[in-house]
Structure 1
């Protein structure tokens, strides 16, 4: 792990809300990306890199594609920005797989027509989806509910090739001690003016922000620390309340089970006593009632009298 720069204060993560770099697309050169350092801090279970004492999570790099490597599930575009080094930009490949063309020899005409119609419908659907994403981005993501991410980047796959000048936005990654950019969005630059504008932004940001040390006063640091402590206490209290609620719910469930068990036992006991009482009454009254044969004989004796 690379040690922290000397004579620089690396502020704890609860001060990152005051950082001018942590939540922005930081325009960097490829040499700057390879020069980022690890200082033992993590964000979302991934190492958090620093430029001097500036924490950097999201970057933007502009350059020309000089190599394309295709792997299962991802494409790697090597970008040269004329800074003396290249940087690899890794894209999770979510491009639609083109439907295989049907061989026209030996295939009935109507099946070939159906395949063509399906392929046209798929192309129209994909174009509408891309148009909706672009419209949502232009309106502040109002038309597209799914924001771009490392797992679902926005990439113009059809025109991404060697010689294309692109502007890449992504997250800093580390693969075999080699800095990479995990792509979130790629924009193709159509003119030299756009490329020059990006370079000017790199130089201005380097001069105004990265060229200066990030300084947090003791009062601001103490305020951030207290806010984090309150937040952790609030989370702990909510966790305790949830645990207490779960315990009370379990107690209620146990009481309900006991109540039902007692009710079942009571009913069984009542049924048992009722059965014993009926058997006792039948045994006592058996002597007072004649048998069935006696009752039949008595009934036949008085038939002639019409009784």
Structure 2
């Protein structure tokens, strides 16, 4: 089956690029990694939506890992980042520490987890940096999870953004029906654009770039104008100071 490839400026016309894509754990592992995006066939995907049973919960120093079983033949690892509330560090500082400690973090994971949570720690979403209360997300709970995609070694993971606990298996079955319908109608069919659509998207991308450049130039002009005004004001103040000093010398 032919799967045409399109440049990034076409992604906004994709039915999967900027939406929560209902996907199974099996298909999550089949996604191919691109630059800032993942692909199923030629569908660009950034955000995914899964549902299943939590079969394990592992605490590591910098995050909690949930393993989700959706009966697709694979499980999905869901990562929820932690932030310490025992210091005045910002989320950005905590993330920098995570990056610096990446080697140690991987070692802890390979050994099957590490230090537990709690002790003044909260969980945060990756993109919005909002606090997530995952205290009810224990083994045996049915849950729907939305998140972005990341890769650890060769395993595709989900970085949690939002979640919803399912009341029973009926709700899970409704989600599975919707997921199957989405797979049949969207994911399993290669995304195609006509030559005219690609040309139009290219023109729009060029217009967007021109507008961005114009906005940057306007911002640069404002900065230069402000600098000139500040320099003029500085000279006025300096001259006034020099005149005052001269008058003191005459006296």
Structures share fold, TM-score greater than 0.5: yes
Give per-residue Cα distances to partners, 1:266-288, cap 9 Å, x unaligned: 5555666x66xxxxxxxxxxxxx
Task: Report the counterpart of residue 67 of structure 2 in structure 1.
Answer: 78
SS of aligned partner of 1:212 = coil
Task: Report the counterpart of residue 65 of structure 1 in structure 2.
Answer: 54
Q: Structure 2: where are the runs of 5+ without partners?
A: 87-124
Task: Report the counterpart of residue 204 of structure 1 in structure 2.
Answer: 181
Task: Report the counterpart of residue 24 of structure 1 in structure 2.
Answer: 19
Q: 1 or 2, which has the higher strand percentage?
A: 2
1:1-307 mapped onto 2 (5 Å cutoff):
7-39=2-34, 41-42=35-36, 48-93=37-82, 149=127, 151-152=129-130, 154-158=132-136, 160-266=137-243
Q: Structure 1: where are the runs of 5+ without partners?
A: 1-5, 43-47, 98-146, 276-307
Which of 1 and 2 has greater Rg? 1
Matched positions, count: 213
Give per-residue Cα distances to partners, 1:36-74, cap 9 Å, x unaligned: 0023x22xxxxx100000011111112111111012342
Counterparts of 1:8 and 1:72, CA distance in 2 = 42
CA contact (8 A) 2:142 2:168 kept: no
Q: Which has the higher contact order (CA 8 A, sep 6+)?
A: 2
SS of aligned partner of 2:170 = helix
Give per-residue Cα distances to partners, 1:51-100, cap 9 Å, x unaligned: 00001111111211111101234211111112111111112347999xxx
CA contact (8 A) 2:54 2:138 kept: yes
CA contact (8 A) 1:92 1:153 kept: no
SS of aligned partner of 2:203 = helix
SS of aligned partner of 1:21 = coil
CA contact (8 A) 1:91 1:153 kept: no
Q: 1 or 2, which has the higher helix percentage?
A: 1
Task: Report the counterpart of residue 133 of structure 1 in structure 2.
Answer: none
CA RMSD of aligned residues (A): 2.7
Task: Report the counterpart of residue 106 of structure 1 in structure 2.
Answer: none
SS of aligned partner of 2:65 = strand
